[in-house]
Each structure stands twice: as C-alpha cells, then as structure tokens.
Amino acid sequence: MKNRKARIELMVDIIKHQCIGSQEELSSLLENAGFHVTQATLSRDLKMLRTTKVPTNRGGYMYILPESDSLKDKLMTRGKLPRAANYQSGFISLTFSRNIAVIKTRNGYASGLAYDIDMSHAPEILGTIPGSDTIIAILREDVTHEEALQVFARLLPLDHQIPAYKV
C-alpha cells in the first residue's frame, strides 16, 4: 500500500492530463499504478481536491481541478493578492440585475472563479452559486452596481470587458 500523498499527487496528474469521466475510470488508473482505493476514499479525495465535473464537447463529462493553491487562497482571504495575480482566463462578461450579478465564464471555469470570489470575503457579496459557465453572485441589497463593479474589478479582468457590463 502506497501513501496518501503519493496517491493524491498521482490523482492530480491524471486529472490534469487525461479526460477522466468517472470515479470507476480514475480508480482503475490508480489501481494500475498500485493504489487500491475504495469508492468512499476516492470520493473524499476528489472532494478534498475540490474537483468539478464539467461537460465535454463529446457529450460526456470530465473532472477538472480549480486553478487555486493554498498560498493564493491565503492571500485572497487577507485581501493582499495583487489584481494581476487574480486574473481568471475563463472570464467572459459581467451583468447586473438589481442585487444579482451574473458572471459568464468559459465552460468549466465558473466553479473556480466562484471560489475565488467567495475567498475574497468582500462584504458587498453575500455569496455565489456556480454552474459550469455561469456564476450568480448575490449582492447585499444596499450595494450599488458601481460599488460591486469596484469589488469585481479586483477579481476579474474587467479592463477590456466594460462594454459587457450593464446596469
């Protein structure tokens, strides 16, 4: 039996470099590498890695990992991450409707970006609900769209996206 750290490192490598659509498929690849895991252990590992299942262009699904690391998470939580380091390449647009912000992303990027928004602990944002390519962010009722835009500007590459912003 090999150790957990090595198993997790292998899981990350497999998920990053292969299109894995099911726990059974991942379990089989781990088994071939000498790691016998139960379905419960695999589920816990996938949850700990914060994997997300997203649709593929072939009609199936695949696991992806969030683009996040512990140092980045700690800096975001403290509000000390510079704007350039927050760049999320999957961002497409931002639109407001009353106290709701709708953020469009490339397919598979919403979960990681929603996590980044939540980790910022901005008091103007009550929380997020991610899909695979859309995030619903709930704003406090007294927050103006301009104030929210300032918050999102710290987290999203809005410089070239201002025309997509709608009040």
- DSSP H or E segment with residue 57: none
* CA distance to 15, 50, 80, per residue, from 86 (Å): 23, 19, 11
Residue 81 pLDDT? 47
pLDDT of amino acid 159 = 64
Highest mean pLDDT among 10-24, 85-99, 133-147: 133-147
d(Cα 45, Cα 9) in Å, to the nearest integer? 11
Of 127, 122, 119, residue with least CA distance to 149? 122
In the predicted model, is pLDDT for residue 28 greater than 90?
A: yes
Number of H helices, E strands in the chain: 6, 6
In angstroms, rounded to a whole number, what is the distance separating the alpha carbons of residues 15 and 101?
Answer: 31
Residue that wins the pLDDT comparison between 2 and 68: 2
* 57 against 71, higher pLDDT: 57
* The predicted structure's pLDDT at residue 67: 62
3-class state of residue 149 by DSSP = helix
More confident residue, 62 or 41: 41
pLDDT band at 91 (very low <50, low <70, confident <90, very high): confident
- Mean pLDDT to the nearest integer, 95-103: 95
